[in-house]
């Protein structure tokens, strides 16, 4: 009895990790933008979605193929069989080419980083820049408008249906996670890709923190977050660095989207779905606190997965649908600065 109870708990924690990772990465980007530029970015979910569509795009580009009629093989009507061969395969040979096509989602990371950095840079210079002095309501409204526009553009090019984007064959299937930590076989089964996703997010989040902590650039940015004016007075062009941080935040959201594509087939409104929850995560973690955003992301992801256990649902029906919002409301009312928020930051 006791062992199976532990199983259930560990399984739910694991289940919560993948969603939690996505929340944490999006919330991290949101907090970076808020902490540096003081802007509430409602278009951040759209950046996540764009990342997922980077994966879709690369997959489509890599599997561009030409058709030849193979006279040696016949189809069931007796005509020569038409064979689709991706250009990649014909260029790199069978094994290497197929591997590249198969690994398109991880490869999309390389593709997405420059694309998302560029999108973030253009967005900040072209639009957000003009909204620093305007009230928060205006920032919310203009980024909300931008989110609609991005979403509709994606819908125009990719259609309204979800586009399946499979992970590499190697990561299909599941890992018997229980055996590794001393449980019986087949007790705790966990899909490989979700494990990869969690590790990936841990690396990305770690990289962002290390970048801020251990590089001169990061030091200047942190100084700018604490006191923008003084850093400016020291003769440092802080605006330029903040713009780059906006690009990095966009790239983090984009990478979260790229790797999420195999878990949930990308569709044009996935950004909006995640955005609302990510905002809740940011608020729970504490506006402007980077560790708070990450912590709250994982916590809420895990909490959500616990709430969707049948045992819990039978006691409080519908709790899985509202648990995150409920937690947010309670936190906002009892501890307005969130779990790890600094005193006085957006605490009116």
Partner 1 sequence: MLGLSKKDTTFLLIVIFLTLATPILLQPFPENSALAQFNAGYPDLMQRFAIYGIFAIGFNILFGLTGYLSFGHAAFLGVGSYSVVWMYKLLSYNVLPGLILAVIMSALFALLIGFISLRRSGIYFSILTLAFAQMSFNLAYSVLTPLTNGETGLQVYTNDPQVLMGPGSPSSPHFFGIVMNESAKVDIGGWQFTFSNGYYFCAIIAIIVFYLSLRIFRSPFGIMLRAIKTNQTRMSYTGLNSRPYTLAAFVISGMYAGLAGGLLASMDPLAGAERMQWTASGEVVLMTILGGAGTLMGPVLGAGFIKYFENIFSKINDNILHTWFSALPDGLEDALVFMLHPFIGKGWNLTLGLLFMLVVIFLPGGLIEGGNRIWGLITGKGRKSKRAVKDNDHHPKPSAHVN
Q: Which is nearer to partner 1, 252 or 284 (CB)?
A: 284
CA distances from 267 to 140, 166, 213 (A): 23, 14, 36
User: Which position among 55, 58, 119, 142 is part of the footprint of partner 1 (CB under 8 A)?
Assistant: 142
Residue 16-45 contact track with partner 1, rule CB under 8 A, x = bound: ------------------------x-----
* Closest distance to partner 1 from the beta carbon of 25 (Å): 19
* Assigned token pair, 144: 């909300």
User: Which position among 74, 125, 130, 172 is part of the footprint of partner 1 (CB under 8 A)?
Assistant: 130
User: Which position among 115, 270, 328, 341 is part of the footprint of partner 1 (CB under 8 A)?
Assistant: 328
Do 300 and 281 touch, CB atoms closer than 8 A?
Answer: yes
Q: Which is nearer to partner 1, 43 or 108 (CB)?
A: 43
Q: Which is nearer to partner 1, 85 or 264 (CB)?
A: 264
User: Which position among 110, 122, 149, 199 is part of the footprint of partner 1 (CB under 8 A)?
Assistant: 149
User: Which position among 88, 188, 263, 283 is part of the footprint of partner 1 (CB under 8 A)?
Assistant: 283
Asked if 146 interacts with partner 1 (CB under 8 A), we say yes
Q: b/e string for 266-303 if b means 16 or more Cβ within 10 A?
A: bbbbbbbebbebbbbbbbbbbbbbbebbbbbbbbbbbb
Q: Which is nearer to partner 1, 120 or 191 (CB)?
A: 120
Q: Which is nearer to partner 1, 37 or 89 (CB)?
A: 37
Cα distance between residue 17 and residue 244, in whole Å: 29
Asked if 333 interacts with partner 1 (CB under 8 A), we say yes
* Closest distance to partner 1 from the beta carbon of 283 (Å): 5
Q: Which stretch binds partner 1 (CB under 8 A): 62-70, 81-89, 134-142, 172-180?
A: 134-142
Asked if 340 interacts with partner 1 (CB under 8 A), we say no
* Closest distance to partner 1 from the beta carbon of 47 (Å): 16
At how many degrees (to 10) do helices 238-260 and 192-214 cross?
170
Asked if 332 interacts with partner 1 (CB under 8 A), we say yes
User: Which position among 71, 78, 235, 318 is part of the footprint of partner 1 (CB under 8 A)?
Assistant: 318
* Closest distance to partner 1 from the beta carbon of 80 (Å): 38
Asked if 209 interacts with partner 1 (CB under 8 A), we say no
Asked if 346 interacts with partner 1 (CB under 8 A), we say yes
Q: Which stretch binds partner 1 (CB under 8 A): 58-66, 84-92, 175-183, 321-329?
A: 321-329
Instruction: Catalog residues that contact partner 1 under the rule CB under 8 A.
Output: 40, 127, 130, 134, 136-138, 140-142, 144-149, 151-153, 156, 272, 276, 279-280, 283, 287, 317-318, 321-322, 325-326, 328-329, 332-333, 336, 346, 348
């Amino acid at each position: 009895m006791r062992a199976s109870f532990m199983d259930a708990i560990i399984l739910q924690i694991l289940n919560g990790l993948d969603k939690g990772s996505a929340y944490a990465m999006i919330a991290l980007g949101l907090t970076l933008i808020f902490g540096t530029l003081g802007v509430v970015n409602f278009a951040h979910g759209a950046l996540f979605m764009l990342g997922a569509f980077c994966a879709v795009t690369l997959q489509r580009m890599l599997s561009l193929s030409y058709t030849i009629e193979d006279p040696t093989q016949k189809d069931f009507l007796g005509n020569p069989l038409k064979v689709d061969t991706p250009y990649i395969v014909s260029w790199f040979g069978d094994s290497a080419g197929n591997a590249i096509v198969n690994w398109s989602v991880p490869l999309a990371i390389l593709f997405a980083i420059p694309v998302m950095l560029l999108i973030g840079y253009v967005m900040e210079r072209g639009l957000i820049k003009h909204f620093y002095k305007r009230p928060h309501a205006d920032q919310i409204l203009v980024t909300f408008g931008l989110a609609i526009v991005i979403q509709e553009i994606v819908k125009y090019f990719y259609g309204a249906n979800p586009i399946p984007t499979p992970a590499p064959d190697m990561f299909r299937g599941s890992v018997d996670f229980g055996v590794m930590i001393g449980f019986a076989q087949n007790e705790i089964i966990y899909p490989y890709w979700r494990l990869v996703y969690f590790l990936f997010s841990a690396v990305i989040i770690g990289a962002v923190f290390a970048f801020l902590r251990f590089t001169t650039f990061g030091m200047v940015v942190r100084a700018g977050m604490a006191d923008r004016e003084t850093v400016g007075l020291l003769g440092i062009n802080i605006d330029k660095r903040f713009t780059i941080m906006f690009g990095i935040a966009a790239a983090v959201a984009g990478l979260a989207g790229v790797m999420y594509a195999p878990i949930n087939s990308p569709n044009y409104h996935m950004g909006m779905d995640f955005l609302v929850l990510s905002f809740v995560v940011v608020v729970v973690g504490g506006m402007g606190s980077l560790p708070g955003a990450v912590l709250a992301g994982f916590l809420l992801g895990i909490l959500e997965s616990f709430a969707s256990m049948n045992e819990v649902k039978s006691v409080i029906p519908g709790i899985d649908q509202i648990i995150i919002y409920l937690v947010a409301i309670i936190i906002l009312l009892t501890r307005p600065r969130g779990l790890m928020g600094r005193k006085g930051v957006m605490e009116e």
